[in-house]
Each structure stands twice: as C-alpha cells, then as structure tokens.
Amino acid sequence: MVIIKKFVGLAACCLFLAISQASQAEKIDFEDLGVPPGAQISPRPVSVTSESFRFDFGAESSANGWDHLHVGSPTLFWAYNGTTVLTPHYDVNFRRSDSDLFSLGSMDLAGSSGAEGSIRVTGTFADFSTISRTFLLDGIVDGRGGEIDFETVKFGFNWTNLVSVEIFNTDPNAFQGNFSVDNINPVLNVPEPETYAMLLVGLGLVGFVARRRKEQQ
C-alpha cells in the first residue's frame, strides 16, 4: 500500500509539473534592462537578452549595414509607448537563452517615421519547418504624444514548440528599415493533450488497483 501511495503521489506531481509548465512565461517588455527614460543602450548592442530570450539582428539588417539593435525609449525615428522598446533595422531573430522550445501568444508591433506598412513574423520549429504571418499595420499614426503607435498582434494555437522567431519589416518606405517591438508574450513549451490524458489514465488505474487491494484485505 505504501508503494502505491507513493506512486499516486509521484503521478500527481508529474501532472502538476505538466500543467505548471504550460503557464505563461514572463512577458518580454525590455524593462529588465534598466534603460533610463529618454536614453538607449549604446554603443551598438548586437545582441540583447531580456526575460531569458536572446535577440540578434538578422541577415537583412547586416546586408544593409545596420547591424545593430536599439533598446530604449527615445522618440527620434521610432515608436514610443512610454516604456523601453526594442527597435531593430529590417529584421531581428529571437530564441530562448537556454534553447528550450516556446510558443508565441502575442506582441506589440510599430512602424517608423510615419511609415506603417507590413511586418512579417516567421516561427521556426525544431525540424526547420516554418510558420509565417504578415501583419499590415493600420497606417494611422495616433500614438502617445503624436508618436507612432503600437498595435497588438496575436498568434494562433499552432505557434507552439518554436525554436526561434524572426520579425521582418517588409515596408519599403520604412526609414532605415526601422520598426519597433515590445510586450512579447511567450508561453513555455505546452505539453500535448495526450500527455495529460495518459497521466489521468495512469492515476485512475493506480486508484482502481489500490481500491481492489483494499477490498480484498
């Protein structure tokens, strides 16, 4: 009986871990970098790590000679939402620092210099296959203090088990390819529904056996 009780305990622990793992990860808002208002990280950071996610400039950024990422809250060329934001040129990639898989829930995107065009987001899975969506921003500059505004874009249930995500500004009118991103909501790797089902079946079986033994005694 003691062994069975221990087994039930272990199974319950597994179930709890599986459920808690599916919970929301910390929102990536770049506030943990401690950039003072009105300032930006300098000089030229080529990679930025916020909330355990690492951001690197992309190939297009490098090809155009703008191989750096701005992290700050200035209002010179780019969007301002009153907080620290990330402003890449052309493209940026991000992944978890520990290379673990993640899902993508939503993010805030903004164009630059009055140019609000289209921004493409591409997720890459472990088998190198990809999923992609292009978001057309509304073209209306009505942000805080007359600055370029952010729009929240959401991703579907199939944006799970990602290795990395690329954000690419496809707007030809964007000044130096600038765009801004903030408040990325990643979700840690979500267990398959089958995992829950198997754990529940296992728990039920253990309980059934325990009851049968008790009846026999």
Chain residues binding Ca ion by CB under 5 A are: 29-30, 83-84, 138, 140, 149, 182
**In whole angstroms, how far apart are CA 84 and each of 27, 31, 73, 163, 196?**
13, 6, 5, 25, 39
| Least distance from Ca ion to the Cβ atom of residue 39, Å | 14
Smallest separation, CB 107 to Ca ion (Å):
11
Residue of this chain nearest to Ca ion (CB atom): 83
Q: For residue 38, which amino acid is it?
A: G
* β-bridge mates for residue 158, sequence order: none
- Looking at the Cβ atoms of 146 and 207, the one nearer to Ca ion is 146
Query: Closer to Ca ion at the Cβ: 56 or 149?
Result: 149
Angle at 33 between CA 27 and CA 36, to 5 degrees: 120
- Cβ 178 to Ca ion shortest distance, Å: 15
Residue number, 100 or 138, with CB nearest to Ca ion:
138
Count CB neighbours of 135 within 10 A.
16
C-beta of 11 vs 184, nearer to Ca ion: 184
**End-to-end Cα separation, the chain, in angstroms:** 11
Kindly state the smallest distance separating residue 13's Cβ from Ca ion, in Å.
Answer: 36
